[in-house]
């Protein structure tokens, strides 16, 4: 072993960790180009070793006020402001971090690696001292810190966000992927290795049991690519994604301000990004964390506290609101009918696709049903999700389509009769012949949309989302929806 006990069969002069004098805790791929299965180095070994490392610091209110005022001044004057986030920004959402101590002030309790290190040392299952408040990453609600970052980016203050988190909350919060680098992957994201197309899911994409096996069993559907999809999680001993890595370092070199929050800043090469800003004499590194970090000495400002407390105060000083978390969904409905040469219905199909605002395909439906245009309780056809394989279309039989057409035409006829009775001839009496002629021309130009059916959309329901009824017309249409998890209500939004 080398002097740190990491790289088997290598001399200390060949080990990057030994050359730099860092302690074990960096990604194994940074130390060795190819993972060594027999290496004794595990992530639990990155847990803190001393009481001083576990110690948490919290600034007094008046001290916090002064420090955040200084941070606000830096943000206002910055030309290229970036943020760097770790697990600490998600603890208030109920997702545990990795290195918090047994006596942490956080409601999520001891960190994951801390628990494992204790279990390995004692041989007993870890027991928390008090009741924890934890939740699944799929049900977690983006924190004030997440939403403040969204607002800072919208205000054109924050230029780029680098994250070590895999919980997917940054993308779910609405932070644009074009300004985000998820260095360690996203538990809800899978990628085609053939064409690079991404798919967001409303479930964890990882299905493999072996650590370095990332195939999910699903195939790419973009332009009939057919490539195998892989989860995007970066496990111990694996290379970080090249695109995210390059973007992170590029923005770190350009940055004149980096706000690093909720990270121990011990895992490289990720931690090398804020370190590059800290070592730049013309840039400022600001660290917000409860525990000390290896980069404290190169930081311009060190703020001791919880990230939500700091971000609330910062946004007040910048006079910017922190938006409430809303779950955004975009649904595209497309109805098509195939007829034979005698114009008889041959096959019918309703295609339902979901996507992000940036057009990234998503899987978020538990099922869907085609309802009668006359009675939305009468189901014509439907599908339900089976396992983790999503269907995107509902196929009709000819008999079902004829039944649907009959109901639609019957309702359309009733509506026309009602319209005639209501308008009568009085409306035209007050118009000149030229005005009446213009009105008729406008009516001809305006193509009337024909309502085909009503579609009921059933969600996966991680946030207890109720089903939504959407009107489907005889052309392709996209509907943007926004869900308030606090009120349990949906509203329509524009596709931005």
Structure tokens at 67: 């420090």
Residue whose structure tokens are 């041989």: 123
- Main-chain phi, psi angles of 406, to 5 degrees: -60, -45
Q: Which residues are 290's β-sheet partners?
A: none
- Residue 184 annotated to the active site: yes
Nearest to 318 by CA among 76, 94, 20, 105: 76
Helix, strand, or coil (residue 200): strand
The token pair at 378 is 């009468």
CA distance 196 to 360: 12
Confirm if 140 and 113 have CB atoms less than 8 A apart: no
Q: Is 141 left (phi over 0), alpha (psi -120 to 50) or beta?
A: beta
d(CA 472, CA 379): 14
- Collect all residues with Cβ–Cβ distance below 8 Å to 257 and sequence separation of at least 6: 74, 75, 78, 80, 81, 82, 277, 283, 284, 286
Distance of CA 200 to the CA centre of its chain: 8
Angle made by CA atoms 58, 44, 14, in degrees to the nearest 5: 105
Q: How many CA atoms lie within 13 A of 115 on its CB side?
A: 14
Residue 253 CA to residue 249 CA, distance in Å, equals: 6
Query: Hey, what's the torsion of the CAs at 294, 248, 317, 74, to 10 degrees?
Result: 70
DSSP state of 13: G
Q: State whether residue 49 is helix, strand or coil.
A: coil
CA 228 from chain centre, in angstroms, equals 22
Active-site entry in 184, 251, 335, 355? 184
Residue 148: name the closest of 268, 254, 262 by CA: 262
Which of helix, strand or coil describes residue 311? helix
Phi and psi, residue 462, nearest 5°: -65, -30
Distances in Å between the Cα of 254 and the Cα atoms of 80, 86, 159, 250 are 7, 21, 10, 6
Total length of the chain: 496
Q: Enter the tokens of residue 92.
A: 């208030």
Beta strands in 127-227 (DSSP E): 158-163, 180-182, 189-192, 198-201, 215-219
Task: List, by residue number, the catalytic residues.
Answer: 184
């Amino acid at each position: 072993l080398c002097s740190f006990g990491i790289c088997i069969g290598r001399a200390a002069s060949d080990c990057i960790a030994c050359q730099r004098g860092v302690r074990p805790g960096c990604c194994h791929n940074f130390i060795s180009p190819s993972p060594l299965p027999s290496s004794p180095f595990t992530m639990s070994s990155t847990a803190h070793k001393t009481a001083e490392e576990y110690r948490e610091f919290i600034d007094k209110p008046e001290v916090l006020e002064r420090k955040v005022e200084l941070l606000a001044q830096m943000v206002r004057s910055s030309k290229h402001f970036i943020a760097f986030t770790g697990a600490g920004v998600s603890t208030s959402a109920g997702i545990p971090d990795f290195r918090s101590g047994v006596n942490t002030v956080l409601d999520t309790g001891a960190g994951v690696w801390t628990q494992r290190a204790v279990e390995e040392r004692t041989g007993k299952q870890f027991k928390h001292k008090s009741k924890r408040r934890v939740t699944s990453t799929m049900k977690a609600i983006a924190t004030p810190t997440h939403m403040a970052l969204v607002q800072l980016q919208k205000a054109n203050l924050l230029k780029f966000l680098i994250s070590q988190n895999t919980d997917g909350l940054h993308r779910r919060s609405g932070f644009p992927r074009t300004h985000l680098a998820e260095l360690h992957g996203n538990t809800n994201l899978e990628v085609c290795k053939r064409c690079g197309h991404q798919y967001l899911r409303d479930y964890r994409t990882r299905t493999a049991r072996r650590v370095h096996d990332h195939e999910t069993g699903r195939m790419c559907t973009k332009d009939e690519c057919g490539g195998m999809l892989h989860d995007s999680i970066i496990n111990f001993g694996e290379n970080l994604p090249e695109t995210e890595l390059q973007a992170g370092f590029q923005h770190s070199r350009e940055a004149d301000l980096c706000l690093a929050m909720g990270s121990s800043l011990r895992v490289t090469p990720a931690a090398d990004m804020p370190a590059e800003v800290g070592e730049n004499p013309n840039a400022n590194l600001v660290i917000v964390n409860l525990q000390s970090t290896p980069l404290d000495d190169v930081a311009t400002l060190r703020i001791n506290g919880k990230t939500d407390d700091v971000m609330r105060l910062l946004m007040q000083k910048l006079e910017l609101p922190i938006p409430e978390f809303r779950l955004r969904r975009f649904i595209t409905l497309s109805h098509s009918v195939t007829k034979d040469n005698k114009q008889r219905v041959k096959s019918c199909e309703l295609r339902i696709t979901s996507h992000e605002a940036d057009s990234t395909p998503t899987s978020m439906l538990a099922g869907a049903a085609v309802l009668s245009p006359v009675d939305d309780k009468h189901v014509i056809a439907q599908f339900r999700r089976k396992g983790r394989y999503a269907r995107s279309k509902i196929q009709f039989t000819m008999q079902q389509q004829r039944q649907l057409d009959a109901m639609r035409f019957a309702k359309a006829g009733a509506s026309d009769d009602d319209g005639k009775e209501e308008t009568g001839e009085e409306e035209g009496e007050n118009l000149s012949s030229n005005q009446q002629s213009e009105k008729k021309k406008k009516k001809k130009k305006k193509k009337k949309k024909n309502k085909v059916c009503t579609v009921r959309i059933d969600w996966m329901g991680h946030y207890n989302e109720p089903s939504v009824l959407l009107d489907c017309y005889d052309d392709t249409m996209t509907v943007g929806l926004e869900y308030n998890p606090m009120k349990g209500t949906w509203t329509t939004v524009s596709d931005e």
